[in-house]
Amino acid sequence: MALLKKPVHKMSIRPNHQQGYTLIELAIVLTIFSIIALIVIPSFSALSETKSIDHFIAQLEEDIYFAQASALSQGKKVCVEPRNSSYQIRGNNDEILLVRNHSPDIKIEKGTLNLQLCFIQNGNVPNFGTWIVRTKKESYKLTFYIGKGRFHVSKL
């Protein structure tokens, strides 16, 4: 009769495969993500502020064109009037056509033109001059030309 050998199972303290990450590995990964976030987030906030100012300037331009088109289509005087942190477009008889709020950090100031820009029935401005738009970092100049109601925006 032959002796049957029992298979020998080795008891291993460590399993053959790991089912997770060690605390040190997780700490290293979190440290790397934190460093990347510290570098990237401030640049995004500066970009966001620049984009919001660009959006405001573009919106103001569109609203001025809207006021001019309203004067032409209605055959009436239409005015753009800046306020503290908004501006409004008013038609004849003080009819409010549009009110646009903006950040309190943006200031529209009088340059050589009073803070009331009016378009007459033919879409022209009777007075010409400049407005200054100031933000925390930059300033812009809106120049309104006599005849045809044209204007130009430039960075100071």
E-assigned strand segments in 72-138: 78-82, 86-90, 96-101, 107-110, 117-119, 129-134
Structural domains counted in the chain: 1
Instruction: Report the CATH number that the domain containing residue 95 is assigned in CATH.
Output: 3.55.40.10
Residue 140's pLDDT is 93
User: Residue 38 falls within a domain, yes or no?
Assistant: yes
Give average pLDDT by consecutive 10-residue segment, the chain, 156 residues. Answer: 59 61 88 87 72 88 92 90 90 87 89 88 88 89 84 87
CA-closest candidate to residue 65, choices 89, 85, 92: 89
Q: Specify the pairing of strand 129-134 against strand 139-144.
A: antiparallel
Residue 25's pLDDT is 87
User: Residue 132 falls within a domain, yes or no?
Assistant: yes
User: Residue 119 falls within a domain, yes or no?
Assistant: yes
Residue 81's pLDDT is 92
User: Residue 63 falls within a domain, yes or no?
Assistant: yes
The pTM of the full predicted model, rounded to 2 decimals, is 0.69
Handedness of CA 56, 62, 63, 68 (dihedral sign): positive
Query: Which residue range forms the structural domain that includes residue 78?
Result: 27-155
User: Residue 5 falls within a domain, yes or no?
Assistant: no
User: Residue 16 falls within a domain, yes or no?
Assistant: no
- Cα separation, 121 vs 81, in Å, equals 17
User: Residue 134 falls within a domain, yes or no?
Assistant: yes
User: Residue 67 falls within a domain, yes or no?
Assistant: yes
Residue 17's pLDDT is 62
